[in-house]
Amino acid sequence: MARSDDVSSLKPFLERLLSRSKLSPVECEAILGLPAHERIFEPHRDIGRLGDNRSHSSLVLKGLVGRFMQNSRGDRQLTALHLAGEMADLDGVVRPDIMYGLEALATTTIAQVPHQALRAMAQKHPAIAEAFWRESASDVINLSRWALHLGRGSARTRVANLLCEMAVRMGSVDAPRLEFSLPLTQDQLSDATGLTAVHVNRTLKSLREEGIVTYRLREVRISDWEALAVEGEFDLSEFNR
């Protein structure tokens, strides 16, 4: 494990917090001063195993992380995707025995931030505690939407909603990114949408043939954002909170 004293590694996390919360210069400095240990994970490696008792939270600096649960047959269900700048398991600060696992979906750089430091900072700065709370609320909103579509949504809705979510999170609510890399394998896309690989292929094919979106060689190109949002039953207001 390499230690990094480069405070800038926390900068993407600070920017993410500031996009939702107001923090004073002192509070911003406190976040930038958090200890961070950088590690690189190859694709398909578990960053945090199921049932691990963790002592740190994982900030994604580069790459893509999947949060997952797994049943007794070994089938995985991805329950969230985490992009650069996001703390994948911030809730671990108060629940270090967190049950879900984290997997590097691409070559991923993680800054491991000790729970102890995060907890001490939140206790000292109530505004930071509230910002963390807001991050967790955002996670719950995303998870609730995934649960809705996994339980009730059609294949088209699931796939389209996932692509809409990524477009907004990589861009913004006002300007979703219409072209981006999403380095998911066929199996990982299946694990995210709860569909078989063949069904995912069919769904992407139909969306492509209708001129809505193409997803090939792990590159997404959205041709018709409005149509994709309708197919995905995607509600932008969920991302304004």
Per rule CB under 8 A, count of chain residues that contact another protein: 12
User: 86 or 233, CB closer to another protein?
Assistant: 233
Q: b/e string for 25-40 if b means 16 or more Cβ within 10 A?
A: eebbebbeebbbebbe
Min dist CB 149 to another protein, Å, is: 12
In whole angstroms, what is the distance from residue 59 CA to residue 82 CA? 9
Alpha-carbon distances of 196 from 112, 123, 193, rounded to whole Å: 34, 45, 9
Options 76, 115, 149, 156; binder of another protein; rule CB under 8 A: 156
The span of 48-56, 62-70, 131-139, 152-160 binding another protein (CB under 8 A) equals 152-160
> Rule CB under 8 A: is residue 155 a binding residue for another protein?
yes
Min dist CB 218 to another protein, Å, is: 15
Q: b/e string for 203-228 if b means 16 or more Cβ within 10 A?
A: bbeebeeeebbbbeeeebebeebebb
Min dist CB 211 to another protein, Å, is: 17
- Which residues, in sequence order, are bridge partners of residue 4? 36
User: 121 or 155, CB closer to another protein?
Assistant: 155
The span of 14-22, 120-128, 149-157, 228-236 binding another protein (CB under 8 A) equals 149-157
User: 62 or 202, CB closer to another protein?
Assistant: 202
Query: Which contiguous run of DSSP H or E holds residue 159?
Result: helix 155-170
| Binding to another protein, residues 165-194 (CB under 8 A) | 186
Decide if 241 contacts 138 (C-beta within 8 A): yes
User: Which residue has tokens 């107001």?
Assistant: 22
User: 80 or 195, CB closer to another protein?
Assistant: 195
Question: Rounded to a whole number, what is the distance in angstroms from the first to the last CA of the chain?
Answer: 36
Say which residues have a Cβ less than 8 Å from residue 164's Cβ, sequence separation at least 6: 176, 228, 229, 232, 234
Min dist CB 32 to another protein, Å, is: 46
| Binding to another protein, residues 192-211 (CB under 8 A) | 195-199, 201-202, 205
In whole angstroms, what is the distance from residue 48 CA to residue 60 CA? 13
Decide if 200 contacts 193 (C-beta within 8 A): yes
User: 45 or 202, CB closer to another protein?
Assistant: 202
Min dist CB 74 to another protein, Å, is: 15
Min dist CB 119 to another protein, Å, is: 44
Footprint of another protein on this chain (CB under 8 A)? 154-156, 186, 195-199, 201-202, 205
